[in-house]
Amino acid sequence: MTDAIAISNAQLRFGETAALDGVSLTIPQGTCFGIVGESGSGKTTLMRAVLGLQKLDQGEIRILGKPLVHGRAALRERASFIQPIFQDPAASLSPRSRIRTLMNEVGTVLREPHAATHERLAVILGRLSLPPGVIDKYPHEISGGQARRVAIARALLMKPSILIADEPTAGLDVSVQGDLLNLLQDIRRSQNITLVVISHNLAIMRLIAENAVVMRAGNVIEGGEVGSLFGSPQEVYTRDLLAAWPSIRAVNTKG
Ligand SMILES: Nc1ncnc2c1ncn2[C@@H]1O[C@H](COP(=O)(O)OP(=O)(O)OP(=O)(O)O)[C@@H](O)[C@H]1O
Ligand SMILES: [Mg+2]
């Protein structure tokens, strides 16, 4: 089967900084794939490149077998099958629109009657412990954690085949984190979507990802099936990352 995402030798510099220094990886369709690594290792930059928001200096990215194309039309087309959940959720919510408007846009893009969109939305909001009334608010009227969940709800509403989530659980209560992970897993299984999760939270990664890579200074330094990657890491750097999560080796509730 065609890979959901295939990245080959991705290179990108910001001045003196090699944000991506020759990253290659493939993400099979329908799997949950994790990207971990310390702050500044290039995770968000890689995500932005995959979304076509950031041009590479060198290298190639294929989404579902097709080379990534830049430009507005390509960006719009891509939004129908690949959806981001950004690290800063406020960035994906337009400050001047009520959340209802934001959700209605999804219906318009999908050519779905608004009633049907809102029926699906009600289920997603419930699963994310968001009150139905949240849709009548403006982004500045809700909390950071609520904004993150609203951004997640919107991404899910688009029914993408690939979802890339950058620190999706940051700033959420532990119980809501659990609800979110369950929701993501349910949707992934029922709709067979490919889920890419970027997180510092290795315990969460251990729970939901099948395969993962470890990034350091713009490179992938190791990767593989999460059980063996976290169970017997080859790199000292990975061992150091894992040292902050002492319970990880014992956790295994996937399946
Ligand atoms: N727009 C930009 N201009 C200049 N430098 C940038 C820009 N975006 C990222 N960088 C640099 O590229 C490197 C990788 O940044 P990136 O945001 O991808 O890291 P990250 O792994 O997502 O970190 P974090 O875990 O803190 O979110 C960092 O050194 C960062 O300072
Ligand atoms: Mg980041």
Task: Show Cβ contacts of residue 157 under 8 Å, excluding neighbours closer than 6 positions.
Answer: 103, 106, 117, 120, 121, 124
Distances (CA, A) of 12 to 55, 63, 70, 182, 196: 8, 18, 16, 35, 20
- Burial (CB count <10 Å: 0-12, 13-18, 19+), residue 158: middle
Question: Cβ distance 242 to 233 under 8 Å?
Answer: yes
Neighbouring residues of 199: CB distance < 8 A, sequence distance ≥ 6: 34, 35, 36, 167, 168, 169, 205
Comparing 5-14, 33-42, 88-97, 237-246, the range with the smallest average pLDDT is 88-97
**C-alpha to C-alpha distance for 233 and 217, rounded to whole angstroms:** 18
- Residue 254 pLDDT greater than 80, yes or no: no
Give the distance (Å) from ligand 1 centre to CA of residue 202: 20
What pLDDT is stored for residue 252 in this prediction?
46
- Please, which pLDDT band fits residue 245 given cuts at 50, 70 and 90? confident
Give the per-residue pLDDT at 91. 76
How do residues 157-172 score in pLDDT, each as one tens digit? 999 999 999 999 988 8
Under the banding of pLDDT at 50, 70 and 90, the label for residue 249 is: low
Nearest to 237 by CA among 205, 215, 204, 207: 215
Residue the block writes with tokens 């030798």 = 9
Q: How many CB atoms lie within 10 A of CB 196?
A: 24
Asked whether 12 lines ligand 1 (CB < 6 A), one says: no
The closest residue, in CA terms, to atom 1 on ligand 1 is: 14
For the whole model, what pTM was predicted?
0.92
Average per-residue pLDDT in the chain?
92
Q: Whose alpha carbon is nearest atom 2 of ligand 1?
A: 14
Task: Find out whether the beta carbon of 44 lies less than 6 Å from any atom of ligand 1.
Answer: yes
Please work out whether the CB of residue 42 comes within 6 Å of at least one atom of ligand 1. Answer: yes
Q: How confident is the model at residue 124 (pLDDT cuts 50, 70, 90)?
A: very high
Mean local confidence (pLDDT), 92-113: 91
Interval 222-239 mean pLDDT: 95
**Ligand 1 atom having least distance to the Cα of 200:** 25
For residues 21-34, give the mean pLDDT.
Answer: 97
**Is residue 129 within 8 Å of 176, Cβ to Cβ?**
yes
